[in-house]
């Protein structure tokens, strides 16, 4: 059965993910040096508490998923369209890497276009025009009216 | 009549031209974002924080409060006409409201929702006016141990009641708590979870987390679900003037919804969702025609809509008097107070009484504005629903990155935004509630401080939490919240067994 296979895989990743996060916190705590007079109420108590809860929750989800109990981890729908996640990812990564070199107007337009593509828009020309107009307008409002700085990039001499 | 004097002074503040303008801006923006799917009050206030940093605090809070109220009004319009709730508090409204719209009674559904929201919002604000001073007196007796116990209660209530299962709520809460640990520990100067990245030393900005979880995560989730992307809009049909029959069927549900909603908002018991569900089932139970439910019963719109607006007024009581947020939006509002160097709690009422009472008075005014904005002008708002989803979400993400980047002008924040967006997506996809995560993130560090301060005062003696009566009271409540679902399930099983037996005999 395909559906239950996908379900147990997701449960496996979520369960192990929570336990892995606990391990990261534990690793970070191990290198911390707490002054002895703070030992009973120092900065390590809440992290240790989080580790305990994360491991317990991780094991709980592994167990629930493996045995098909009601609290198992499964997507709430069988139909998934990964185009959206990819489109938004591409757009945000473009914003991370291109914002400062290219400037806000172009990188934000790329983000807008990528998100619209991810939502399966079938009108690329319309999207591109709106993308450029919206990011230009946003740039002008934020830098001229609200005095917040956004990188101008390669359009520095034009806008 | 201390509260009345203060309220009058508050009106003097709220009725100045500038503050009226902030209120109008807030309620208009609130209605707008309430109507638009994919963007809610918590996200909007988070995005506005960098922009409002330079504004006058009173004006900013009047705007934020108007926005919170307005979002509740606006979201009912989306629920009724589009069958996709604008906010989680309007899920129930969609059940009956959309059925009514499809039968050509959409206008009546919108009217009962708006008038019910107005009545509940106004009664809720009156209760807030008179309850707040009582809470302030109580809160003055709280020390660190009491505050910590109260937060433990808030944590358990949020994780037990906000999601589909308690363990999911707890996992979400702890994720928020862990994100809140990142950075320098205030009491000892130790660094936690910063992994040598200098940008993490100051901690992860709450705006980044809120925008990542709510905007990016939500956009990814909606994009991944083809059936959620395109919904059919019902036109506003019928008369906005409710008939005598509709008034007769609406007024009791409005009052009952208010009575359910307000206490749920005040108690740290999960914001607006639960009272709307309870109101719906109560109306169904009390109705003389329960068979109409599910086919467009007006009581099923009137009750829950009143409940969610009353709950919003209730949420403001613990937020303002104790500094205790009980919903995601309230948690972001707490951050907004901190941005202005204000700490909600009993001292806020003595130190910044102009701000607090101006804020409370502005809620009365905002409610009137909202009734006007949402009834006669509903036709204008409906046009917003026609914005195609690709353009809507493209715009939301562009504004999200502007808001996040302008915090520190650093692309590290954009990387964090993306990672948190993926986390939000996974949480939405596998049905983990987001609100406990936001509450854990914001209350976690405060709870930790109170916890350690209590132990510092008692010199490491842990019994301080069980020897103070108020502290014990909250801890017992917390245990009860944990145990109640199990008790209820056992009772339900027994009742089901009894019912089967009586049917068999």
A91 touching chain B per CB within 8 A = yes
Which residue has 């510092």 as its token pair? B456
Distance from CA of B287 to the nearest CA of A (A): 33
B190 touching chain A per CB within 8 A = yes
Residues of A in contact with B450 (CB under 8 A): none
Q: What is residue B504's predicted lDDT score, i.e. its pLDDT?
A: 60
> Residue-wise pLDDT tens for chain A (159 aa)?
334 444 558 888 999 999 999 999 999 988 877 766 666 678 888 999 999 999 999 999 999 888 877 777 777 677 788 888 999 999 999 999 999 999 999 999 999 999 999 999 889 999 999 999 999 999 999 888 877 888 988 888 777
Comparing CB atoms, the residue among A18, A87, A146 nearest residue B51 is A146
Q: How confident is the model at residue B231 (pLDDT cuts 50, 70, 90)?
A: low
- A115 and B393 within 8 Å at the Cβ level: the answer is yes
Q: What is residue A1's predicted lDDT score, i.e. its pLDDT?
A: 35
Whether B354 shows a pLDDT value over 50: the answer reads yes
Q: What is residue B190's predicted lDDT score, i.e. its pLDDT?
A: 85
What's the rounded Cα separation, in Å, for the pair B143 and B397?
42
Contact A99, B405 (CB under 8 A): yes
What's the rounded Cα separation, in Å, for the pair B61 and B22?
9
Whether B83 shows a pLDDT value over 80: the answer reads no
- List of long-range contacts for B129-135, beta carbons under 8 Å, 24+ apart: B129/B3, B129/B7, B129/B360, B130/B3, B131/B266, B131/B317, B132/B3, B132/B317, B132/B320, B132/B321, B132/B349, B132/B356, B132/B360, B133/B2, B133/B3, B133/B6, B133/B349, B135/B317, B135/B318, B135/B321, B135/B322
A57 touching chain B per CB within 8 A = yes
Whether B402 shows a pLDDT value over 70: the answer reads yes
Lowest mean pLDDT among A51-55, A153-157, B42-46, B428-432: A153-157
* Chain pair A-B, CB pairs under 8 angstroms: 190
Q: What is the mean pLDDT of chain B?
A: 89
% residues pLDDT > 90 (chain B): 49
- B229 and A120 within 8 Å at the Cβ level: the answer is yes
Task: Decide which of B500 and B63 is more confident.
Answer: B63
Q: What does the domain layout of chain B look like in residue ranges? A: 2-504
Residues of B in contact with A134 (CB under 8 A): 394-395, 398
> ipTM score of the complex?
0.92
Q: What is residue A4's predicted lDDT score, i.e. its pLDDT?
A: 47
Mapping DSSP to helix (H, G, I), strand (E, B) and coil, where does residue B183 land? strand
B486 touching chain A per CB within 8 A = no
Residues of A in contact with B195 (CB under 8 A): 28
- A84 and B451 within 8 Å at the Cβ level: the answer is no
B181 touching chain A per CB within 8 A = yes
Task: Decide which of B129 and B40 is more confident.
Answer: B129
A136 touching chain B per CB within 8 A = no
Q: What is residue A18's predicted lDDT score, i.e. its pLDDT?
A: 96
Whether B425 shows a pLDDT value over 90: the answer reads yes
């Amino acid at each position: 059965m395909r559906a239950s296979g996908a379900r147990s895989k997701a449960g496996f990743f979520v369960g192990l993910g929570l336990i892995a996060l606990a391990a990261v916190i534990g690793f970070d705590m191990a290198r911390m040096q707490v002054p002895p007079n703070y030992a009973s109420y120092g900065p390590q108590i809440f992290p240790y508490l989080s580790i305990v809860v994360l491991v317990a929750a991780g094991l709980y989800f592994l167990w629930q998923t493996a045995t098909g109990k009601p609290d198992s981890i499964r997507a709430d729908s069988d139909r998934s369209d990964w185009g959206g996640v990819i489109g938004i990812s591409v757009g945000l990564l473009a914003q991370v890497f291109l914002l400062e070199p290219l400037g806000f107007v172009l990188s934000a337009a790329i983000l807008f276009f990528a998100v619209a593509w991810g939502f399966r828009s079938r009108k690329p020309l319309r999207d591109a025009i709106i993308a450029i107009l919206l990011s230009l307008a946003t740039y002008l409002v934020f830098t001229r009216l609200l005095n917040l700085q956004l990188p101008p990039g390669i359009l520095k001499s034009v806008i | 009549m201390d509260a009345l004097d203060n309220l009058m002074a508050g009106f003097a503040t709220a009725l100045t031209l500038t503050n009226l303008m902030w209120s109008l801006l807030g309620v208009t923006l609130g209605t707008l974002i309430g109507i638009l799917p994919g963007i809610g009050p918590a996200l909007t206030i988070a995005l506005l924080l960098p922009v409002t940093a330079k504004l006058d605090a009173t004006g900013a809070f009047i705007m934020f409060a108007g926005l919170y109220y307005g979002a509740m009004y606006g979201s009912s319009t989306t629920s009724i006409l589009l069958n996709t709730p604008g906010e989680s508090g309007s899920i129930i409204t969609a059940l009956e409201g959309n059925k009514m719209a499809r039968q050509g009674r959409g206008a009546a559904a919108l009217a009962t929702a708006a008038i019910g929201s107005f009545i509940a919002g106004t009664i809720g604000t009156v209760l807030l006016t008179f309850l707040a001073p009582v809470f302030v007196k109580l809160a003055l007796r709280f020390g660190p141990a009491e505050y910590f116990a109260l937060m433990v209660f808030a944590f358990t209530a949020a994780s037990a009641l906000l999601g589909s299962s308690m363990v999911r709520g707890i996992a979400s809460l702890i994720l928020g708590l862990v994100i809140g640990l990142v950075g320098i520990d205030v009491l000892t100067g130790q660094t936690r979870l910063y992994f040598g990245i200098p940008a993490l030393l100051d901690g992860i900005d709450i705006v980044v987390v809120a925008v990542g979880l709510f905007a990016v995560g939500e956009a990814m989730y909606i994009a991944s679900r083809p059936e959620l992307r395109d919904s059919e809009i019902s036109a506003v049909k019928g008369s906005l003037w409710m008939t005598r029959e509709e008034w007769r069927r609406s007024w009791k549900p409005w009052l009952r919804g208010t009575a359910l909603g307000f206490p749920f908002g005040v108690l740290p018991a999960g914001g607006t969702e639960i009272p709307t569900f309870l109101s719906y089932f109560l109306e169904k139970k009390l109705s003389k025609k329960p068979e109409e439910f599910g086919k467009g019963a007006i009581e099923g719109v009137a009750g829950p809509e009143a409940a969610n607006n009353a709950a919003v007024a209730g949420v403001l009581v613990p937020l303002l008097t104790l500094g205790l947020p009980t919903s995601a939006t309230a948690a972001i509002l707490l951050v907004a107070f901190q941005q202005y160097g204000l700490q909600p709690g009993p001292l806020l009422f003595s130190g910044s009484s102009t701000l607090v009472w101006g804020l409370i008075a502005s809620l009365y005014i905002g409610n009137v504005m909202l009734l006007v904005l949402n009834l006669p002008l509903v036709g204008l708002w409906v046009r917003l629903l026609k914005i195609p989803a690709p353009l809507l979400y493209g715009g939301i993400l562009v504004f999200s990155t502007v808001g996040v980047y302008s915090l520190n002008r650093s692309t590290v924040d954009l990387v964090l935004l993306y990672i948190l967006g993926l986390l939000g997506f996974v949480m939405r996809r596998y049905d983990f509630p987001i609100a406990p995560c936001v509450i854990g993130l914001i209350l976690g560090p405060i709870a930790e401080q109170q916890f350690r301060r209590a132990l510092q005062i008692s010199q490491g003696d842990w019994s301080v939490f069980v020897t103070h009566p108020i502290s014990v009271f909250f801890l017992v409540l917390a245990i009860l919240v944990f145990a109640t679902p199990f008790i209820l399930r056992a009772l339900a099983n027994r009742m089901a067994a009894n019912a089967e037996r009586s049917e068999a005999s």
